[in-house]
Structure formats: C-alpha cells, structure tokens
Structure 1
C-alpha cells in the first residue's frame, strides 16, 4: 500500500492487517498511531503517513497511549526482502547499533556508514541511529511497565548511554517521564509488575498479525527438541516451550506458551493476537535481542494475508490454506546452532550438548546447557562435515546472522564438503528466515513464489511431503 488514499482507508476501517506495515500521525494532536487505533478517525487533511515509528518520532510526534504503536508486529517486508535496507533492519532489530554502533552495522553490510545512512533515510525516513533509538524506547517502556527494576537500571538495560539520554528520549517519544510512564501502565502490566521478581523473569506478549497456527509450530519444536537445551511440556493446545539462549551479554531461559488462535470477527477478519512468553536473563541488556530471536523462531512478523492470498490461488494448496490459515514457517533462535543441528540430526546434536555444551550457572529443571559454540565444536570435532561447518561458522566463512547475504551464505554452505543441496535449503529456510526456498530436486510451481517456504510447510503439515 504505497498510495495515501488506500492507507487512509485502512485507518478509517481500523484494519489490523496493516499494523506494523505503516504508521499514521495526526498533526492537530501531535500523536502517531497504528492503523487499527480505536480512537476517532482523524480528518484526512490532518493525517501524515510514515514507514516506521522512528520516522514519526523524528518529525516530533509522540506514541499514542491508547493503541501503543510501538508494540505492533514488525514489518514482514524486512524478512521477505534481501536488499541492504532489509538486511540493515534485521540487524538493527537484533541490537547491532547498540552493541557496535553505526560503523559496526555498516561493516557487516559491506557498505560505508554514509551509504547506509543515505539508503535508510531515503526509504524509511529515519537513519540507523533514529531506528535504534525508537527500539530502545520500546524496550524501556516494556521494562518500566512490566518489571520492578529501578529506573536507572532500565536506562542502561534498554541500551541508553546515559540516564539523561534515557529521560530525554522517553519524554520525546511518550510525552511523559519514566515514572509517569510506569504509573500509566495498563492494568494487566501493572498486575504483572506486582508479581514480577528477578526469579520470575520478564513477562511478554509477542504480537503477531492475523491468524496464527500455533499447533504445527509447537509440534515441530517438540519433534526437534534437544535435551538439556530445550523442553516442551503440557497437553497439545496448551503446551509450553522452554529453551536456553546464548546472548551477547549473558544467557537466558525463555518459556513460550501455545495459544489457540483468536476467532474470526463478525466481518470474517482475524484480529491478530500474541503468544505469552517469559524471559529470564542474566543481563537485562539482552532483552531486545532475545525478543527478536524469539520472533524469528516463531515467525511472528510474517504477513499471513499476503501468503494465504498467493498460495490459496493454487488448486493444490487452496484446501490446505483454507484448513490452516496463517500457517507459519518457523525460523531459529540461534542460526548457527540450527545449521549444526540440521546437519547433525537430533540424536547427534544431543550428544554434542552432553559432551561440549556449556553448563548453565543456574540450571532450571531439565534445562542445563547452552548449545556448544561453533569454535568449540571446530576444535573438538575437527574432521568431517561437522568440523568443516563449525570451522566455517567460527571464522566467518559462512555468515548466518540477521544481516547475512542469503545468496552468499547459500553458496558458502554448498562449498563445504558433505552438505547436500536439500540440507542447505533447509538451513537457508530456517537459519536465514528466507520465505522463498525450495530444494533444487523438488519440482515447485513458479506461482508459489515468493512464498515457497510456506507452501512446502503446508505440504509437510498435511503429510504430503516428507520432512
């Protein structure tokens, strides 16, 4: 939706399908919102549109306290595209600017900092610093409203360089002081904060747009779970997936609950929803990164409307799409771990954890280890395909981070001894989050593009394609 009139129609109809795809701001109030905001629709002449929340903030608009536009799912465009802007957005979401600065972002993309600044500003209306600032503000709001952490600790946990910078940003984005923002938390967040303790973790709602088929995702995670690193418990329909996480500043344990999809509204639309999660972090600075990795694992930023519209037009896939609207193509919480697991298989992966995995300082039930790092495996198992893959990941010959060039990674994987094209295709689908992958030995209709990964997932879940 590039034309302003269709965007205004989406605002007027409060269409949640476009939450995260764009934002609108009202000049007479100085507020920006998500398209589905329940407030009275503003007059068209007073409305401006922005590609990102950061662009709206840069123009002086503050976030709506009613619809909380910073809590929408991310744009599906950044996962679908492979150009430098999309790669930059995936890296910024992972926290690269906070950890390595704009220079680090540019180096990972293979461009100069000036080129990255120019391309992001031209397309999105905001540069990398502004985009990272908007993300830090959102992280700070979550911590303020759902935890009892002191404000000073929250400032640095959210990635701000100083308390003054933190205070100024919160005032600019939310028109409130941190204390006022905490006091204005929704009732559910206030209740969570009263019961929250460091041992209880940080409660989160991981938003998604449209319908979400949780059962196939949790089935897959249950079938793949590696003991010591992952576990899944509870009956189908109410399961909880738990796993350990290696993060930039420390470690984490996450629990995500299976949640039945929301029913259709009277108009036949799916309103979207969320998965409940709880994060236990040894360092709160890892919150943003951990959340983004979970979003990739559960494919929460997908656009099910676009996927289902394209695939539902195919005679073979139409009944499958009708049976499972909003089926996702799961990704990975740790791309390098996923690549090794795909190559090694579940039994061998469990053995690697037992032999080389790092024991958690504070094990939690059956979760006792982190999956071994590639450098550790390269040294411990130097021979064969495992050693070659681990060494390539450790020395950067194969990059699977959010900003990696997917074609380059694909070619580098194929060059390793023992990795066949089907295995590489699975790594590209899961570790790199590519929505349009099909194994070269499979005859796939061209009409399934650019959603071939989702089409194959439909066939697997329906039992028409071997996993």
Structure 2
C-alpha cells in the first residue's frame, strides 16, 4: 500500500487493515489502529508504521480509545516464509523473553546482528523492541482483567524488573500501572470490551480477529477430531466451548474458547500453572483458531475462480485451523493416515491413555497432556491398534522431533521441515503436507491426494484436468481452498472424477 491508500483506509475507518499497519498523529503524540473512531487527523500530521513497536520507538503512545495493541496480528507473517516472517512468529511465541535475541537468532540460523538489521530495516523496530511491545500488551491485559499485584504482573509479562515494567507502561500508555488498571474500559462498539475481571486462577481474554469468522465450521472440525483426555467440546452448536490441555515452556495450562463470537473477538479463558506462559499460551490458541488470517484477501483471490466463488460466498471467513502443539499435530497426522477421522481419534485416545502425562488434577474429561516426542521414541506402542510399520514410523518421528532432525517450532523453515519429514521412512507427501499446513501454519498447501478434497472438488464442479495450473491461481491461500472443498456438503450432486485411497485429515 502507498501512504495515500493507507490514509484513505484511515479516513474510512477500515477495520480490514487493523494490524496490517498503524498510524500516528504528530500533534497528539498518539498512535492508533486504522479503524479508530476518533476524528480523522489531517494528512500532513499523520505518519504510518508497520508495527506498534515502531510507533512506540518513535515516541508515540497507544490510543486509549481504540487500543491498537489489541489488534489481530498481521496475516503477512503467516504467509511469508522469509527470516522476517519466521522471526515475527517466534517473537509472538515468546522466544525473545525466554532465550533472548541470541536464542532467536540461533533458531533462525542467522547472527544476532543480521536479525537486528533485517527487522529494523523492514519493520522499524528490532527484536527487543518488538518483544517489549508484546510484553506491554500482556501487562495491560493482566492489569485490567486480574487482581494480581503489580510485581506479579511485571514478571508474568516477561519484564526483568518492576522498574522496567513501570517505565514501559508509563512510556507506552502515558499512565502508571495503577492508573491503567483504574482506567479499565467498558464496552465500545468498535473494539469490544475488555474481558471482565478474572476469578481465581482464570485469565479471561478477548482474542481479536478481522473480518467474518466461520466459527461453526471450525468448531465442527475440532469436535470431530477431539482426542479424549486432552480435548473436549461441550455445549450445543452455536454455544459450544472447546477445551484442551497445553504443555507450555514453564508449566501446563488449560484453554477454553467459546464458539459464539463477539464483534470481532472470541472469548477465551486460560488456566495456567505459571503466569509467565500467558503470552505463549495466547499465541498458540490464536494459531489453532487461525485468528490472524485476512479473510478479505482470501475471499478476493479465491473468489476469482468461478467454482470456488460460490463456496467462498457460502462460508465467509472460513479458517484453516493450525495447531496448539506442532509436535503433537505431527504425531496425530501419522496416527490418522489412511484411516477415517473417527478411527484416528480412537488411536489418539489410546496413545494418550497409554503414554500421556496425567494432569495434577483432572478438569472435566481433560486428564492428560499429550505424550512428549522423546517419550514416544523408545516405547513399544503395543497398546495402540496399528500395524507394526505404523508404530515404527511413530517412533522414528518421535526421535526426529526429539533430536532436532525435524523442527516444527513457530519459526521453522517450512521447506526444510517438509524435506526432513519426507526423509523419514513411512512419511509420504500427504502426511508431510498436512503437517506443513497445520503444524507450521502454512496458508498455501493443497493436498491433491486427499480423498475428501477430491470429492469436494467433484461436487463443486472443479475440473480435474490441468488442476495444478488452475490451483496456482489460488496462491498463496490454497489451504483455505482445501477447507472450502472439505466443507462441501456430501449431498450435493457430484461430477464423476477419479477416486483415490488417501484419507481425510486427522
């Protein structure tokens, strides 16, 4: 976008660009999201920034009215596979807070100086500033939704000291922590409410997204695949709650996400044994529910195809679910290969019951954490009703994940990860592609060997001849096209097409 087109987005208060860029006003010293309801400033007084951290680094404070720190993340970071996109995903997962810039650089395979230079050149802020902006947002959420003491919040948000916490909050919000807590906003038509104060041990969050959100289809997808012991979906359609256990860097957690959407957010509650895991847990839930997607860009590209256009209109805002735990998703992909969804779910339940780590206290039907990859590398898996070759593949995958032969973290190089997966005996293109789509959040995967995808294409009337060339026009959003095909009703008339023996996704 040019600066003029950005200004037009600000003039029209276009929420489609929230998170894609920020604007700051020189006369007030405030930066905002594009959809801020305040009076539009004059063009000569406006500057644009690619990130909130860049605006903060230029001396602007966050608008108290539109809360620009609460916008969805940019969909660009999920679509991009370069070092900047990978770095942004890792920073979102809390790597800088846990491992520092050196740890971030090591994961990316670059020097710390190269990472600093590339991020600063493109985003106007380095990794420390980007992580600092994220810590400030986490601190604001805790200040305004919990009764925790300021010192507890400071360390939970990732600050090294209470003084650093106080200074950052005053710089970014122009308020002391106590004043920011007292200024907890109520409902606003444009931004939605901050979640009500938490009960003991529960952190309520509003998880923002942009555009329409096809919650029913996503919750259906998760419910059909929920593994007993680590996941459950309770309630009736339209008012369901998805619950799952989380293995986090400093402890464990349980996430609860409600199906009913507010005006641009999903209600979430986190039960954490360590508050330091709040940022990481929130980001992993966001990836699972694909909350940083850009449904406008997806609809624009896929809608150009005459057969896909009808599907896009039928399910506006259809998401491509990610994974709360990439290693877990990889194991589940192997379990579900060439079997039905229901059978894959049964196998997953048996694996959890045999090798999962019990929670200190069960919560409903949630009783375990999914087994660690290294725990699966050397066990017989005899309790799992699978062929011996499949058990061998699971052990091979577990060992590869444990020793780093295969890396599936938030900043993994997707091409390298797929090559490493294909190098493991027993893992073929379908399994590697499915892992790439969900565990690595790649928005541009099309599993043309999947039976349900091909069946959906036939029912949608998509011709199979020259499919590769035609699907190139769907880039970089082919994962969303795949989910549209998976969601074509089975009772729609089908056009005769060749069949396949591959299975639907686990």
Q: Under TM normalisation by the shorter chain, which class is it?
A: over 0.9
1:314 lines up with 2:305 in the alignment: yes
Deviations 1:401-445 (A, max 9, x none): 011000000011111111121111111100000000123647442
CA contact (8 A) 1:312 1:318 kept: yes
Unaligned ranges ≥5, structure 1: 263-271
Displacement of 1:190 in angstroms is 7.8
Deviation at 1:463, TM superposition (A): 4.0
Shift of 1:363: 1.5
Of 459, 479, 487, which aligns to 1:453? 479
Match of 1:265 in 2: none
Report the Cα distance in structure 2 between the residues aligned to 1:440 and 1:186, rounded to whole angstroms.
48
Match of 1:409 among 405, 417, 439: 417
Alignment of 1:19-418 (within 5 A): 19-187=18-186, 192-193=196-197, 196-199=198-201, 201-260=202-261, 273-344=264-335, 345-381=344-380, 384-418=392-426
Deviation of 1:347 (Å): 1.8
1:422 is paired with a residue of what secondary structure?
helix
* 1: CA distance, partners of 2:413 / 2:428: 20
In the alignment, the residues of structure 1 paired with residue 289 and residue 23 of structure 2 have an alpha-carbon distance, to the nearest angstrom, of 28
What CA distance in whole angstroms lies between the structure 2 residues aligned with 1:454 and 1:368? 33
2:428 corresponds, among 417, 420, 423, to 420
Could you tell which deviates more after superposition, 124-133 or 411-420?
Answer: 411-420
TM-score by structure 1 length?
Answer: 0.95
Alignment correspondent of 1:436: 444
Q: Secondary structure at the match of 1:226?
A: coil
Provide the C-alpha distance between the structure 1 equivalents of 2:435 and 2:194, rounded to a whole number of angstroms.
Answer: 41
Asked whether the equivalents of residues 94 and 402 of structure 1 are also in contact (C-alpha less than 8 Å), the reply is yes
Deviations 1:30-58 (A, max 9, x none): 00000000000000000000000000000
Q: 2:194, 2:205 within 8 Å by CA — same for their partners in 1?
A: no
Deviations 1:308-342 (A, max 9, x none): 00001101101000111111000000000011011
What TM-score results when the alignment is normalised by the length of structure 2?
Answer: 0.88
1:268 maps to which residue? none
Query: Which residues of structure 2 form unaligned runs of 5+?
Result: 188-192, 336-343, 382-390, 455-466, 495-502
Query: Which residue number in structure 2 is paired with residue 269 of structure 1?
Result: none
SS in 2 for 1:187: coil
**C-alpha separation in 2, matches of 1:31 and 1:191:** 24
CA distance in 2, matches of 1:203, 1:174: 21
Provide the C-alpha distance between the structure 1 equivalents of 2:94 and 2:195, rounded to a whole number of angstroms: 29
Contact 1:234 / 1:240 at 8 angstroms: preserved in 2? yes
Q: CA deviation at 1:210?
A: 0.2
RMSD: 1.5
Alpha-carbon distance in structure 2 between the residues aligned to 1:390 and 1:84 = 27
Aligned equivalents of 2:316 and 2:86: distance in 1?
Answer: 28
Task: List structure 1 runs of 4+ shifted beyond 6 angstroms.
Answer: none
Contact 1:421–1:440 (Cα < 8 Å) also in 2? no
Q: Give the Cα–Cα distance (whole angstroms) in 2 for the partners of residues 111 and 125 of structure 1.
A: 19
Note if contact 1:398-1:413 (Cα within 8 Å) is conserved in structure 2.
yes
- Higher mean C-alpha displacement, 358-367 vs 396-405: 358-367
How many Å separate the matches in 1 of 2:234 and 2:357? 23
